[in-house]
Amino acid sequence: MNMELTPKFPVTFDETEGGGYYNWAAADSPVLGEAKVAAGKLVLKPRGFGLPHYSDCPKIGYVLEGVCGVGLTMPGNTKETMSFIGIKKGDVIPIPYASVSWWYNYGDSDVIIVFLADATNAYIAGEITYFLLTGPLGFIAAFSPEFIARTYQISVQKAEKLASSQKGVFLLRLDEEQAETIPEPTKELGNIWTRNIEALSPDVEVDNGGKSTILKGSQFPLLEQVGLTVTRLVLAPKATRAPSYASHPRMFYVAKGTGKVQIVSLQGRLVLDTEVETGQLFVVPKLFMVTISAEEEGIELVSVVTSSRALIGELGSKRSVLNTVPSVVQVSLNVTGELTQYFRQKMEIGTVIVPAMNLHPS
């Protein structure tokens, strides 16, 4: 099995004075299609506005920088149940399949959001496809004015105006007068629609090593709806995340810093041994083992598993899948009883995050 797993930067999908959208193209990273995952990154300048749209992938948005308002409507909802949610750095917001959203930067600095998606039912394997409601590529412009007039019970002249007035395709920048018409986000809805993963208590925290925080569907029901599990991993300089595997594909985005990644595939083959840096994305296929080490400045990653009930197998720590009957460990490794006992003692006191250490030959 030959998979191209090299970490990649995104390519430009659309850039305007309102911001930019960047995606990881399946043509550049075929593993995205093979693993049925997809990703994109949204940058909104102050007063940047993303036109209403929906997509073919359930996903999460993770706010890397800034504050933003998100308008979100589920199919079948009425005006009274539409949500305009305020999100900020560290927030995770699920975007359910086929839900309509629009995005507005009401702050004074750029907003950066990375989207990580389950692309199982995507039109293009490994990519998120967006369906716009307005603008020259939107549905209102595509239907004939007569159909739009009948739908909204307006004149054909007004229907033509609705279809042709918006010149922006996907992202635009509102003028000051337009910006004043956008309402303030509802803070209370943020408690329903988002969780700030940076503010949550870590599942694992190791002195001088780092921390790992997992957000599951059992903790956040909306994640159950999009079928994803989210993890934030922060490693101190030279610390290591011990090898692990998952029952479903995993996708990692490097939010900050640099590090080294190794991935082992079928038949014990080391299929990736490379450095990663801020802004890159890499995919770990299901059941492949991965380990991550930080360089001098440390590293922060956000990842998703394409299941809200994924199983994670650990190679290190007392939770190691090797932590079994001593004699089984001994014969499996073909080592002495003394080394087996020492090895098992180290597993018992070990953690999945290992601080920097000096390696000795003996």
Say if residues 288 and 245 touch (Cβ distance below 8 Å). Answer: yes
Q: What pLDDT band is residue 358 in, cutting at 50, 70 and 90?
A: low
Angle (CA) 130 216 84, round 5° = 45
Distance CA 242, CA 350 (A): 10
Distance CA 206, CA 22 (A): 35
Q: Check whether 191 has a pLDDT greater than 90.
A: no
pLDDT digits (tens, 9 = 90+) for 155-169: 999 999 999 999 999
User: Where do the domains of the chain lie, and which CATH numbers do they carry?
Assistant: 11-193 (2.60.120.10), 199-313 (2.60.120.10)
What does the radius of gyration of the chain's CA atoms come to, in whole angstroms?
Answer: 23
Q: Average pLDDT for residues 34-38, to the nearest whole number?
A: 97
Question: Given this model, what pLDDT does residue 218 score?
Answer: 87
Provide the Cα torsion 270, 265, 216, 307; round to 10°: 150
Q: Check whether 259 has a pLDDT greater than 90.
A: yes
Question: Given this model, what pLDDT does residue 3 score?
Answer: 79
Q: Check whether 1 has a pLDDT greater than 80.
A: no
| % residues pLDDT > 70 (the chain) | 97
pTM for this entry: 0.94
